[in-house]
Copies of this chain bind each other. A is one copy, B any other.
Amino acid sequence: MKRISLWVFVAATAACVIASIPFTAGGADDEGSPIYGVKIPAGYREWELVNIAHEAGNLNDLRAVLGNAVAMKAFRDGTLPFPDGTIIARLAWKDVPSAENNAVFGRFQSFVTGAATNLEFLVKDSKKYAASGGWGFAQFTDGKPDDEALHKTCFPCHEPAKAHDFVFTHYAP
């Protein structure tokens, strides 16, 4: 029988504990984001996957983009602009090596999700958010909205994606 060394077990356990820190679910009394007033939508974690990505550098994260039903239909059909009612969620976790997986692959190569970093939402309402391309923005850390200074950077950052209705993510079939 193949023995797994104790340190692999300890590292795997630590990774599991770290990975289990959840994104906090939203509720009716929760605070909305500065400027836009966007709250964490109920059930977002169960939405369908749009695509995934990896940010190296200072962010050092693995990220997944999920979409509600309106979003998913638009992504699949290639509809632009996204219709009102579209909500896109961006989840992100620290990118951490997996000792358990590396032991199986026999080399240092495998990275899995560690602690959640922050949670972002794009909400389409072309009237309410006309000044920002029709989108309301929100970023939450540990279930609380980040500050107004951060939220002032959202739309300027997304402006280069204007040709795709300010959305960077495309659908991965």
Chain A interface (Cβ < 8 Å from any Cβ of B) = 2, 4, 16, 19-23, 45-49, 51-59, 62-64, 66, 72, 91, 93, 95, 98, 100-101, 103-105, 107-113, 116, 157, 159-161, 168, 170, 172-173
Contact = CB atoms under 8 A, between A and B. Distances in A.
A52 B112 CA distance: 7
A160 B2 contact: yes
Contacts of A111: 53-56
B51 A159 contact: no
19 contacts: A16-B170, A19-B51, A20-B173, A23-B173, A46-B72, A47-B48, A51-B113, A52-B93, A53-B98, A53-B101, A53-B110, A54-B54, A54-B62, A55-B111, A59-B109, A64-B64, A100-B161, A103-B160, A104-B168
A109 B168 contact: no
